[in-house]
A = this chain, B = another copy of it.
Amino acid sequence: MPDTKSRTRIQRQNREAILEAALEVFSAQGFRGATLDQIAAAAGLSKPNVLYYFASKEAIHHALLSGLLDNWLAPLRALDPAGEPLAEILGYVRRKVEISRDFPRESRLFANEILQGAPRMMAAIEGELKALVDEKAAVIRNWSAQGRIAAVDPYHLIFSIWALTQHYADFDVQVRAVLGPGHDPFAEAGSFIETLFTKLLAPAA
């Protein structure tokens, strides 16, 4: 199992193909629902060959999840304490909507993991994720205290942004089934959610 830093061209290509295929399969079927044969077929490789690049099914899943966390936290990390409060929060919202639109499989992979009790991500959630949220919640609380935005619980503000944006990726089939054809769920959601938070955060008169 060659996983030192020295990767040949073929190694890089095949590892990439496997991760892409695994994302497709894991996000649609969950960890236990996915099979190595499905992943191998989707990657255009034989099963033993897949296991030549990754030690186990677990290892593939783990590689996906660790690669995911940074991208997942980036939008919140970019929230600037020195910026204009409402613009910063709406910017965060917009970035999250875009991520849901452009990376729905990643969102579903994450949702699957949390739904099952986050067995393989608890550490990251209690560590990195919580630390970042704590930090940004303090920033938002400060903005509220200064009267620059309405007084809201910053944690639940963040949760509500997660809930609203991820919903459109995770429950995509339901949203589309209910809306019927001729809709662009993410575009509509974007402006709806923006309105929602604009009204919520308007400072008291």
Instruction: List A residues at the B interface (Cβ < 8 Å).
Output: 28-33, 108, 111-112, 114-118, 122, 125-126, 129-130, 133, 152-153, 155-157, 159-160, 162-164, 166-168, 170-171, 173-175, 177-180, 188-189, 192-193, 195-196, 199-200, 202
Contacts and interface: CB of A to CB of B under 8 A. Distances in A.
Nearest to A132: B178
A89 B111 CA distance: 28
A28 B116 contact: yes
Contacts of A155: 178-179
A196 B117 contact: no
B167 A162 contact: yes
Contact of A177 (B126, B156, B178, B180): B126
